[in-house]
């Protein structure tokens, strides 16, 4: 029996996307699988990426990294976002690499290493212009020196040095060149202080595709792994992996002039058929998409009629055929004429990253492909 709703994930597409990205660089590749694999499923996405040639996995939070280890994945993992007081010893014991942006984080890694009775593997992060994570340039020598002292004591292993782009989705933006230069300067300063990392990494999805001078030893694609382009409209041969689909819950006729959904922001211009779709903003269909977002029903593109509700929205089908149980595709790769996540993003004034990663937990993930 088919489910009411599902996010169907093509694991072969994830694998082939990683193969394509890997073929475009001499660097190793870290597939970023944070946020439940951008909504595609943490563990299945990680396994598909590794099958495609990824040599590392990247996550934001410690619990994501531990979930990968619990699933039996032994590939190198970098977890980069922690706050003071978190239990880092379990990460160190599991061989998970951690990021440090300030001397206090080095001190916490030293304590974790002593508890785990093994060195903590660390990647030192420098802020090269994003003004988000990473040590400020003025604070970088202090961070490097603290890490070097801990490494000399055998409590820390300095594996990497890294940073993150602000504007790589506009490849010719001057900040891209500026951040590469700032990163090189930080590496040179670390070298002057006697520290040479095993790995240098800077490139996100956009830079992996468009800025080969930023590849260094390791690239860190995220959204591109899932087939969505970081530099629209250029698709770069990537294949979107997620199709969000459901089935009509009810079809009925309503009279001309009838208001549809909360607030009656849509009125039927004439007698028409409406179809009730059992997905809403609690499932990741943005409320802001009312009267705007396209979906596909019976080979036709239709727009949401009226407001998106928590669990449902309505389509005005006109006089076309529709029955309860008919399939509705909200977005997919676009190969069958259905809308894409990028189209939704353009309409909503956001990015495709948000469209796929906000698909809610009550939407079952289903998998297809050899790895499924």
pLDDT at 352: 97
The CATH architecture of the domain made up of 10-225 is Alpha-Beta Barrel (3.20)
Active site members: 34, 262
Q: Which of 204, 167, 201 is nearest to 186 (CA)?
A: 201
Q: Are strands 5-10 and 242-247 parallel, antiparallel or unpaired?
A: antiparallel
First to last CA, the chain: 18
SS3 241: coil
Report whether the peptide linkage leading into residue 233 is cis, meaning its omega lies within 30 degrees of zero. Answer: yes
Residues 352, 169: contact at Cβ < 8 Å? no
Low-confidence ranges of the chain (pLDDT < 50): 1
pLDDT at 1: 38
pLDDT at 372: 58
pLDDT at 42: 98
Name the superfamily (CATH) of residues 242-339.
Lyase, Ornithine Decarboxylase; Chain A, domain 1 (2.40.37.10)
Q: What is the number of other CB atoms lying within 10 angstroms of the CB of residue 253?
A: 12
pLDDT tens-place string over residues 45-74: 999 999 999 999 999 999 999 999 999 999
Strand partners, 201: 162, 218
SS3 143: helix
pLDDT at 3: 78
pLDDT tens-place string over residues 108-130: 999 999 999 999 999 999 999 99
Q: Where are the domains of the chain?
A: 10-225, 242-339
pTM of the complete model: 0.96
- As a whole number of angstroms, the distance between CA 208 and CA 255 comes to 54
Q: What is the number of other CB atoms lying within 10 angstroms of the CB of residue 323?
A: 11
Q: What is the number of other CB atoms lying within 10 angstroms of the CB of residue 27?
A: 21
Running DSSP on this structure, what letter comes out for residue 119? Answer: P
Residues 308, 315: contact at Cβ < 8 Å? no
């Amino acid at each position: 029996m088919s489910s009411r709703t599902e996010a169907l994930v093509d694991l072969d597409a994830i694998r082939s996307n990683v193969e394509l990205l890997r073929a475009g660089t001499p660097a190793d590749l870290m597939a970023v699988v944070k946020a439940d694999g951008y909504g595609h499923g943490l563990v299945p996405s990680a396994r598909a990426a590794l099958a495609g040639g990824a040599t590392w996995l990247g996550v934001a939070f410690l619990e994501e990294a531990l979930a990968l280890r619990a699933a039996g994945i032994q590939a190198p993992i970098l977890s980069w976002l922690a706050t003071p007081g978190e239990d880092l010893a379990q990460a160190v014991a599991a061989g998970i690499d951690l990021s440090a942006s300030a001397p206090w984080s080095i001190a916490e890694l030293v304590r974790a290493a002593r508890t785990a009775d093994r060195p903590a593997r660390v990647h030192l992060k420098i802020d090269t212009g994003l003004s988000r994570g990473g040590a400020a340039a003025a604070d970088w020598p202090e961070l490097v020196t603290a890490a070097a002292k801990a490494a000399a004591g055998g409590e820390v292993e300095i594996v990497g040095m890294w940073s993150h782009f602000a504007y790589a989705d506009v490849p010719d933006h001057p900040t891209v060149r500026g951040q590469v230069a700032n990163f090189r300067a930080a590496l040179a300063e670390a070298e002057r202080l006697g520290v040479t990392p095993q790995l240098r990494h800077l490139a996100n999805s956009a830079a992996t595709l468009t800025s080969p001078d930023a590849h260094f030893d390791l690239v860190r694609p995220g959204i591109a792994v899932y087939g969505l382009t970081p530099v629209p409209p250029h698709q770069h041969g990537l294949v979107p992996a997620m199709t969000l689909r459901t089935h009509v819950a009810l079809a009925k006729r309503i009279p001309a002039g009838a208001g549809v959904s909360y607030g009656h922001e849509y009125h039927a211009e004439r007698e028409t058929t409406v179809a009730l779709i059992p997905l809403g903003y609690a499932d990741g269909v943005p409320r802001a998409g009312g009267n705007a977002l396209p979906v596909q029903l019976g080979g036709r593109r239709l727009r949401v009629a009226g407001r998106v509700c928590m669990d449902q929205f309505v389509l005005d089908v006109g006089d076309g055929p529709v029955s309860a149980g008919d399939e509705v595709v909200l977005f997919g790769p676009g190969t069958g004429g259905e809308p894409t996540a990028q189209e939704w993003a353009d309409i909503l004034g956001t990015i495709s990253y948000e469209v796929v990663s906000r698909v809610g937990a009550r939407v079952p993930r289903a998998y297809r492909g050899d790895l499924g």
